[in-house]
Structure 1
Amino acid sequence: MTRRTALGDFRAYCWFHVRLGAVACIGGFLFGYDSGLMGAIITFASFQDDFRYGKGDATRTNSLVVGIQQAGAFVGCWAISPVAARWGRRSAIEICSTVFTLGAILQTINTHSLPAFYVGRVISGLGLGGSSVIISMFSSENAPKEIRGRLGSFYQLMYTFGIFTAYWVDYAVANRMGSVTRQWQVPIGLQIIPAVLLGVGMLTVTESVRWLAQKGRHEEAWESLKWIRADDSAETRAELEEIQASIAEEQAARSGFQYSELLERHNFKLLAIGVTVFLCQQSVGATALAYYGPQFFKLLVGAGPSNLLLTAIFGAVKIVACGTFVLFFAERIGRKSALIGGASFMAVCMIIITIVTKVRPPPGGGVITSSGIATVALIYLNIMAYNFSWGPLPWPIVSEIFPARIKEIGVATGVGSQWLWNFMYSFSVSYMMAAMNEYIFLFFGVADILIVLFTIFVLKETRGLSLEEVQTVYSSDKTRTKPFLAGSEVEGRSSIDKRGEPV
């Protein structure tokens, strides 16, 4: 049978990848929805009344409500790895779905107990952190190379769409339901739907071909690959053999590995880069804005009902910017160029916002002045720059810089640190705003400047390079890059890899 020549086979092939893409999209949406959810809920009088805390406890409570889930996610992203290695990717994702759902149910129940709510947040965080790691792994291991990058990009896009949805749900319940319990229960309870769909969706797809091959279950791997590709031709058999050969090479590369090797100069440098890249991602201020949108807009335009609307529009700007980057620019601009340009632009925005809000503070009373409009516009421009640079790009950078011998632990360390820095900022920003007021924007502006310097002197341009070429670039101190060239060439190498495909 020629590959996907029959109409029925082609439909089967397409239908599988619709389902595979849906699983990735649901996971990204769930991640984003929860990220954008709590910033507005903690401002609802109904939430404060039901959990019986006053203004004096607001800063500490807000930090715990928002940040404690990221602590659970940090643990979850590490705890799920042995589960996925032993029982498979499907089972791991189903477990994550179940754990998250249990935590969401506990949060939705009006227990009048903040400790019980915190427990629910931690439980959901365990499922959320685990799923963020395994879904990406499952998608990349099953997707054909022709659409692997697109599936990864759509995870980020659906993450942004999840934030957008959470903002508008919060805005709707704030204006439609009044100060009653269901005002905060509805947006929290709605996250149960994508969590359940994620678990159910895993029942419609096969196990990872790569995991089955790693376990020596070659017949099952063959059956899974045939079903995924809707094809049993020699070409598909050759693909399985290529997977098996790749696994053998990786096992040989990791043979005799000792953790002490991570302390060797080059390996330690790569680990430090992976951790620092995600520290930079969280330090530009976008995470703080996502979690505490209404509170930040209060600093810009004063207290008033417009804060939730401005936050909802902020979510719309994010999704338009992220979608534009993913669809049109992801493979057309140099990574280092984008990171330098994005951080530089964000630094300018944050510093100007600090000056304007200090010179022309908001009058309050719901009145938005011209200076308030200008600072809001700068926030929107800032998040657009983020979604063209430090939002999507750290993920492919960290996934490609490690050699095969330390790749798994290197990527896990980088991704794990993302949750650690995420927790650090989501927990501390509430205190920072209380202490610094408008100077918090200056803090992020200065951080952006330091990030520009880190990018110039430490990171290399890797767009268009094969993984082997990336290793060469990072292992040679003599390599010089051209960071501001969109179609970069490193040491005379083409921007197309050895297979003739962009990386």
Structure 2
Amino acid sequence: MGLPTQKRAYNWYVAAFLLVATSHLRFYILILYSRYISLVAASCMVLYGYDASVYNALQGSENWDVYFNRVNDQLIGAVNTAYTVGAIVAGWFMGGPIADYFGRRVGMASGAVAVIIATFMQTFSPRGQIGCFIAGRVVVGIGQGLALTAGSIYIGELAPPSIRGKIMSFWQMFYSVGSFLAYWVNYACSRHIEELGDWDWKMVVIFQLLVPCVILAQVFFIPETPRWYMQHGQRYKEARDSLRKVRETEMDVDDEIMIIKEALDYEKEAISSTYSALWKDKSVRKRLLIAFAINAGQQITGQGTLNTYSTAIYKKVFKNPETISLINALNATFGIVFTLNATWTVDRFGRKFLLIAGAAGMAVCMIIVAAVETETPTTDDAKSRPVAISIVFLLFLFSFFYKPSWGATVWIWTAEIFSMNVRAQAVGMSSQVQNVANSIVQQFFPAFLNNEGFYAFYMFAAINVCLGLFTWFCVPETKGVGLEDMDRLFGGKSHARGGVEMGTRLNDKEVGTGRSEDGSDVDTKRGASVVTEVSVPEMPTKI
């Protein structure tokens, strides 16, 4: 009698162990898959990082300058501004509608295609025809406007709220990856200028084909967001299938489907399911203005200028172009490491803390950089080696403060604050305010730097102080808040709760149980929008 009893007990222990192991294995697979699809979407940011850095790198190429007949300061500003113009047009008028009507994946893919076309336009521009090169910059800007809008929304809508900030931090990290690729390719080419000839700069440009091809190869093999499926015909089956790939239990899937449906009902009946909510809803207007401010602030902290004109800046400190190329490449490499700090800080300390701490750190760095350069002697158009190293260290330290705060956190905050009915358009508009601000600074900074030298950095120090104060008084904390509950932080009503209350006000009138197109049973009673799927086996909960 003892042996059978012991055997049964042993079997129960084995079964319990296997259940726990299976549950934990599935949990880790979900986490890995969530990060994989987020990385595919975040690859759109590589397009931005690469192109924002590539022309900065080209400014150190004598062959590029000769090829286009010695470009003056005004044309340098025009080349830099060109891609921001394309990005602004796409972000404000094209990115949102494409992501909303055709899907987030189509938005990312169309942006990648535009970048591929633009890369060929720039690489094979006829000699002396700077206009063709500028046109290619405009097209690559359009591609960025489409891809960045769709990619940031995609991550925000599929990431679980508890780790949304951590996953979204990869977004800014991939900007640094783009810079990393551009600067190291440029550094490698700078060491073989005589052998490459004009291809010392063409190689840097054409290498931009790599990432959009990678995006196109993967983007249609990752799931579309459940919120997009629910917006387009309440396609429950597709929405549930998408969520099952990134949520741990069936209960999590059911709860999120219910919340999304209630939010959609409320937006349609009480506000507007169209972009008119951007000016009809007071809380949306409020967050749009704040988002405009912090996205503009991201580019006028000084980082946008450093990323575009660091070659020109370092020419005032170093004489060797190869040294400057190496510093740019090292800065991009450290930028990846610095951005990773956001993965463990943004959900632990919150978005607001990082923005304030980052602004304070950047202000101090800019003051010291300006003081060190302007108060030390210059010989033979360069600084002494210790002074030059100090300036490089301080600019790297500036990047250390910028990357996890005003670099990564601004994107995280912008992608998560808007309600579903306006999210694509509002995120597209907000993110392209970065390019509005950047285009203004890029146009006047070359002349400003030539006339005032490093005194220009005192301006950036003052701007960062103002940004820190603005964040303290005007930017609410969004850490851990669900997307459908975000409205209450800005004086509005939770759209999910609003849908429930709206149903209650209809006297709980039963209008029957219907069946959606996918075969799911839908309880259409207002205030109790429960979605259940026929013959779905229960998933084991995590132990």
Matched, 1:44 2:61: yes
Deviation string 1:13-59 (CA, Å, 9 cap, x unpaired) is: 5785465134123222222122221102122011112122x2xx421
Provide the residue aligned with 1:387 in structure 2. 403
Is the partner of 2:316 in helix, strand or coil? Answer: helix
Contact 1:278/1:394 (8 A) holds in 2:
yes
Provide the residue aligned with 1:285 in structure 2. 302
Separation in 2 of the partners of 1:11 and 1:400?
A: 24
2:103 is matched by which residue type in structure 1? G
1:347 is matched by which residue type in structure 2? A
Contact 1:226/1:232 (8 A) holds in 2:
no
Q: Summarize the Cα distance change of 1:308–1:232 in structure 2 as closer, same or farther, 3 Å threshold.
A: closer
Provide the residue aligned with 1:479 in structure 2. none
Is the partner of 2:406 in helix, strand or coil? Answer: coil
Matched, 1:421 2:421: no
Q: Summarize the Cα distance change of 1:221–1:255 in structure 2 as closer, same or farther, 3 Å threshold.
A: same
Q: Summarize the Cα distance change of 1:327–1:365 in structure 2 as closer, same or farther, 3 Å threshold.
A: same
Provide the residue aligned with 2:366 in structure 1. 350
Which TM-score applies when normalising by structure 1?
A: 0.83
Provide the residue aligned with 2:451 in structure 1. 435
Corresponding residue to 1:207 among 200, 224, 244: 224
CA RMSD of aligned residues (A): 3.4
Provide the residue aligned with 1:65 in structure 2. 79
Contact 2:121/2:133 (8 A) holds in 1:
yes
Q: Summarize the Cα distance change of 1:474–1:41 in structure 2 as closer, same or farther, 3 Å threshold.
A: same
Q: Summarize the Cα distance change of 1:132–1:405 in structure 2 as closer, same or farther, 3 Å threshold.
A: closer
Matched, 1:318 2:335: yes
Provide the residue aligned with 2:473 in structure 1. 457
Separation in 1 of the partners of 2:136 and 2:244?
A: 38
Contact 1:3/1:235 (8 A) holds in 2:
no
Contact 1:100/1:127 (8 A) holds in 2:
yes
Q: Summarize the Cα distance change of 1:87–1:451 in structure 2 as closer, same or farther, 3 Å threshold.
A: closer
Structure 2 residues not aligned, in runs of 5+: 1-18, 493-543
Separation in 2 of the partners of 1:233 and 1:340?
A: 39
Instruction: Give how far 1:286 is off.
Output: 0.5
Separation in 2 of the partners of 1:236 and 1:461?
A: 26
Is the partner of 2:378 in helix, strand or coil? Answer: coil
Contact 1:9/1:230 (8 A) holds in 2:
no
1:74 is matched by which residue type in structure 2? I
Using the aligned pairs only, state the percent identity.
25
Matched, 1:98 2:142: no
Moved more, 353-362 or 462-471: 462-471
Matched, 1:273 2:290: yes
Separation in 2 of the partners of 1:233 and 1:470?
A: 24
Separation in 2 of the partners of 1:14 and 1:393?
A: 21
Moved more, 375-384 or 444-453: 444-453
Deviation string 1:80-127 (CA, Å, 9 cap, x unpaired) is: 222222222222222221111101111111411111111111111101
Matched, 1:362 2:382: no
Instruction: Give how far 1:209 is off.
Output: 2.8
Q: Summarize the Cα distance change of 1:459–1:302 in structure 2 as closer, same or farther, 3 Å threshold.
A: farther
Map 1:15-54; keep pairs closer than 5 Å.
17=34, 19-52=36-69, 54=70
Q: Summarize the Cα distance change of 1:233–1:262 in structure 2 as closer, same or farther, 3 Å threshold.
A: closer
Deviation string 1:365-421 (CA, Å, 9 cap, x unpaired) is: 666422222222111111111123211222233345556676555444322312211
Provide the residue aligned with 1:107 in structure 2. 122
Larger radius of gyration: 2
Instruction: Give how far 1:213 is off.
Output: 2.1
Contact 1:401/1:474 (8 A) holds in 2:
no
Provide the residue aligned with 1:160 in structure 2. 176
Q: Summarize the Cα distance change of 1:148–1:338 in structure 2 as closer, same or farther, 3 Å threshold.
A: closer
Separation in 2 of the partners of 1:337 and 1:402?
A: 21
Separation in 2 of the partners of 1:87 and 1:199?
A: 16
Instruction: Give how far 1:288 is off.
Output: 0.7
Is the partner of 2:379 in helix, strand or coil? Answer: coil
Structure 1 residues not aligned, in runs of 5+: 477-503
Q: Summarize the Cα distance change of 1:223–1:448 in structure 2 as closer, same or farther, 3 Å threshold.
A: closer
Separation in 2 of the partners of 1:146 and 1:124?
A: 34
